[in-house]
Amino acid sequence: MTIKIAQLSCGTEYSSVQYEIDKAARSVGAKVVYPDVSFEDINEAVKRFGFNPRSPQLKLMIARAIKLADKKYDADAVFITSCFRCAEAALVRNELRRFIQENTNLPVVTYSFTERLKAAQLLTRMEALVTIVTKKDLLARERQTGLTAGLDSGSSTTKAVIMQNNKIIGKDWTSTGDVVKSAQQVLENAMKEAGVEFKQIEALGTTGYGRFNLGKFYNAKLVQEELTVNSKGAVWLADRQRGEATILDIGGMDNKAITVRNGVPDNFTMGGICAGASGRFLEMTAKRLKIEIEELGKLADKGDWRNAKMNSYCSVFGIQDLVTGLGEGKSFEDVAAAACHSVAEQVYEQQLQEIDVRHPIIQVGGTSLISGLVKAVGEVLGERPIVPPNSQYIGAVGGALLSSGLL
């Protein structure tokens, strides 16, 4: 069966990205379609929707969304996309996302592109859309059952979790070296903690960059992209399975922000923008200050970033500012707080602008254990994020939870 993805868009044909969109859809067994609307439909739709954008193509987007809401056009999923940095389109894009979610059962993802469209990000979105359509029942699962395992093979760390009857009974992580060996090691340790043997495990789910490799090695029941798996894991851990939320993962190398509704992702941003906006910046700062990274977080809690202002977000010049500050007699606390604030602010300015931040914010990943960073994110976003227990294990938990649905 070919999944029909209705495209509601502005600017794709004049940004040279339409071909990439069609290609990404095809590669996951889907096809892009455009809900048919007439001239009259457009006028009526804009009036009914109540938002009258100046750009004609945005009016057309609205009319197409209304066709879907009225069930006058048959599609399986919705992809809403427009040019990055267009304010008018960003407003319409987000309101249409909400409108589609309130008026249909169709899964929807949104995306803002530049001409340098990130093909991998687009593909992950398309893959997630198709997953949401084809594995709807599986994603509706809110409780883990039986005895299952989840493996998250990330770019910097590998995590394993053993779950039984909706509880985590064993877990471990290590930095990723050889994909299979790292997974074997953490799974072994997690099983030891849980007091179970491999043959007792009823199902195993893999996610992350190494998911295909591990899926093959362990003959896993579930091999799934991290967008849907991490979302499920995060809302399970934070006990926020219903309603909307933003999942923020400031990684060692790249950052992810996923918006979810009832545990199902509808947009995400991933990058890759600058080392100064990652956990690596905090590691480098800690090293330069000759303190442990855990200590940096605790110091930052007590400090005030305003006392040690930085002139740069950069991991070279920014750290130089901090060291100079120390030389001028600024306290370690204030300098640590400034480092955390710098990362949080840059993540907000460069990355969270691409999505609509929804509340609550659930902060996950290894860096969510650095309390000063969580505090800084809270200050920047105006709300302290929820950090669930075991927040670094979202992918593995999601894998164990979802694979239990395949028993």
Partner 1 sequence: MSEERETRLFMISPDSMLTPDQLVRMVHAMGMEATVKETCYGCLVEGPSKLVREILAAVREKYPYEVFSKVRAYPCGDPRRCRAQHGTRPGFAQLEAEWAALPLIEHGLKCSDEGKKYKAHEEEKQLPLDDFKKICEASR
Partner 2 sequence: MKVFIDPPNSMILYDLVERFGHEPLSAMAAIQNKIDNIEVDMPPMNVTLDDVIRGLKYAGVEVPSGIRGRLAMWGPLIEQADAAVIMIDAPFSFGCVGCERSNEMVKYLIKRRGIPTVTVYYPKNEEEAETVVGQVKEFLEGLK
Among 3, 8, 21, 37, binds partner 1 (CB under 8 A): 37
Judged by CB under 8 A, does residue 42 bind partner 2? yes
Among 1, 38, 50, 54, binds partner 2 (CB under 8 A): 54
DSSP state letters, 168-218: EEEEEEEE-SSHHHHHHHHHHHHHHHHT--GGG--EEEEEETTHHHHHHHH
Considering CB distances under 5 to 8 angstroms, the limit depending on partner class, which of partner 1, partner 2, none binds residue 31?
A: partner 1
Among 21, 35, 107, 341, binds partner 1 (CB under 8 A): 35
Among 60, 300, 347, 370, binds partner 1 (CB under 8 A): 60
Tell me the closest approach of the beta carbon of residue 37 to partner 2, in angstroms: 10
Give the angle 62-271-18 at the CA atoms, nearest 5°: 40
Q: Which is nearer to partner 2, 37 or 139 (CB)?
A: 37
Considering CB distances under 5 to 8 angstroms, the limit depending on partner class, which of partner 1, partner 2, none binds residue 11?
A: partner 2
150 with 403: CB under 8 angstroms?
Answer: yes
Judged by CB under 8 A, does residue 39 bind partner 2? yes
Total binding residues toward partner 1, as defined by CB under 8 A? 15
Q: Cα dist. 374→248, 357, 363 in Å?
A: 10, 16, 7
Among 24, 58, 106, 339, binds partner 2 (CB under 8 A): 58
Binding pattern for the stretch 61-100 against partner 1, x by CB under 8 A and - elsewhere:
------------x---------------------------
Q: Which is nearer to partner 2, 85 or 136 (CB)?
A: 85
Judged by CB under 8 A, does residue 39 bind partner 1? yes
Compute the distance between CA of residue 393 and CA of residue 398 in angstroms, rounded to an integer.
8
Among 31, 47, 287, 302, binds partner 1 (CB under 8 A): 31
Tell me the closest approach of the beta carbon of residue 103 to partner 1, in angstroms: 20
193 with 391: CB under 8 angstroms?
Answer: no
Compute the distance between CA of residue 407 and CA of residue 404 in angstroms, rounded to an integer.
6
Residues 73-112 that bind partner 2 (CB under 8 A): 82-86, 88-89
Q: Which is nearer to partner 1, 77 or 220 (CB)?
A: 77
Total binding residues toward partner 2, as defined by CB under 8 A? 32
Q: Cα dist. 89→81, 93, 98, 351 in Å?
A: 9, 6, 14, 18
Q: What would the two tokens of residue 328 be? A: 């001028």
Judged by CB under 8 A, does residue 32 bind partner 1? yes
Q: Cα dist. 210→156, 198, 311, 367, 368 in Å?
A: 11, 20, 38, 21, 23
Among 4, 34, 51, 55, binds partner 2 (CB under 8 A): 55
Q: Cα dist. 39→36, 46, 95, 102, 183 in Å?
A: 10, 11, 22, 25, 57
DSSP state letters, 325-351: HHHTT--HHHHHHHHHHHHHHHHHHHT
SS3 (DSSP) at 251:
coil
List contacts with partner 2 (CB under 8 A): 10-19, 39, 42-43, 53-60, 82-86, 88-89, 113-116
List contacts with partner 1 (CB under 8 A): 13, 31-39, 41-42, 57, 60, 73
